[in-house]
A = this chain, B = another copy of it.
C-alpha cells in the first residue's frame, strides 16, 4: 500500500536521525508524520512517549510542513496510557506520582489544543483511552474499518480526559457521549463516524492508499489559508478547552489516588500475572 509521507514501521526514516525512542517522525510532500512506534506494546503511551510526542508536536508546529499526521506502527493505532506508568513510584510516593502524571498529561493535551496547523489522525487500528479522547482535538480523523474506539475509564475507576468531557457531548450529544465516557461502550468505526468523532471510514485494504492520496492533495492547498482557518475555528473555544483540560486533570489526579482506581489497576496486573 502506498503510505506516502509515513515511514515504514521497522525502518528509521531518512533525515530524522534518532531523535526519538518511541516515535518515527518524518517529513515528506509537505506533510510531517508522527508515528507511534511501540507496535509490540500496541503503541501504549509511556511517560517517555508523552514527552516525545509533546516535543514532536512543537517541532512540527515550527517546520515548513502544511499538515501534521498522527498514526501508529503495526495493526493497532494506540492502546492508550501504558498502565506500567503507575508502577514507577518516585521518591515522593504515589501522591508525587499522581501529581507528576497529572502535570505531564496537562502539558500533553495542551500541545494538541495549541497546535497551529491542521492535525490529521490516520487511525490504522483499534484506539483506546486517551488516544480516543484526544481525537476531539484533531481537525480530520480518517479510520480503517478495523478501527474501534474504547474509553473504559470507569472500569479503571478513572474519569475522562483529553477535553472529551467537553468535545464528546458537543459532537454527539450527552445521551451518546455518556454511554462512551461513563459506561465503556466501544464504538465501531462506522458508529464513531456517525457520532462525528471520525471524518470518514475506509476499507482496510485501500485505507493507506486512499488516505495518503487525499492528504497529499490537501497539502498542496495555500498553507496560510489552511493554518489561519484552523486557528479561527480553534480560537472560538481555545480558552474553554484549556479550562476543561485543567479541570479534567485535577479530577483525574484525585481519581488516581482513590481506592476505586488503585483496586482496579491492581486487579489489572493480577489478572495479567495469572496468564
B-contacting residues of A (Cβ < 8 Å)?
118, 135-136, 138-141, 153-155, 157-160, 165-167, 169-179, 181-184, 195-200, 218, 221-222, 224-226, 228-230, 232-233, 235-236, 240, 244, 247-248, 251, 254-255, 258, 260-261, 264
A126 to chain B, nearest CB (A): 18
**B173 and A197 contacting across the interface, CB-CB below 8 Å:** yes
Q: Which residues of B contact A197 (CB under 8 A)?
A: 173, 175
Question: For residue A247, which residues in chain B have a CB less than 8 angstroms away from its CB?
Answer: 232, 235-236
**A230-B182, A247-B235 are contacts. A174–B174 as well, Cβ < 8 Å?**
no
Residues of chain B with a CB closer than 8 A to A158's CB: 225
Q: State the Cβ distance, A155 to closest chain B Cβ, in Å.
A: 7
A218 to chain B, nearest CB (A): 5
Task: Name the residue on B nearest A233 (C-beta).
Answer: B165
15 new A-B pairs (CB below 8 Å) besides A154-B222, A170-B170? A118-B178, A138-B175, A139-B174, A154-B221, A157-B224, A159-B229, A165-B232, A169-B233, A172-B173, A178-B199, A178-B230, A178-B233, A182-B230, A184-B221, A235-B247
Complex Cα distance A154/B235, Å?
Answer: 18
Residue from B141, B159, B173, B218 within 8 A of A196 (CB atoms)? B173
Chain B residue contacts of A226, Cβ below 8 A: 154, 182
What's the minimum C-beta distance from A239 to chain B, rounded to whole angstroms?
A: 12
Structural contact, B232 and A251, CB atoms closer than 8 A: yes
B248 touches A232 (CB 8 A): yes
Q: Within 8 Å CB of A181, what residues of B? A: 229, 233
For residue A109, give the distance in angstroms from its CB to the closest CB of chain B.
14
Instruction: Please give the distance in Å from A152's CB to the nearest CB on chain B.
Output: 10
Q: How far is the CA of A179 from the CA of B229 in the complex (A)?
A: 12
CA distance A109 to B139 in the complex (A): 25
Docked-complex contact B174 and A236, CB < 8 angstroms: no
Question: Are A258 and B224 interface neighbours, CB within 8 A?
Answer: yes
Contact B264 A222 (CB under 8 A): yes
Once the chains are docked, how many angstroms separate the CA of A154 from the CA of B224?
A: 9
Contacting residue for A236 out of B225, B244, B255, B258, CB 8 A: B244
Q: Are B221 and A155 in contact (CB under 8 A)?
A: yes
Residues of B within 8 A of A196 (CB): 172-173, 175-176
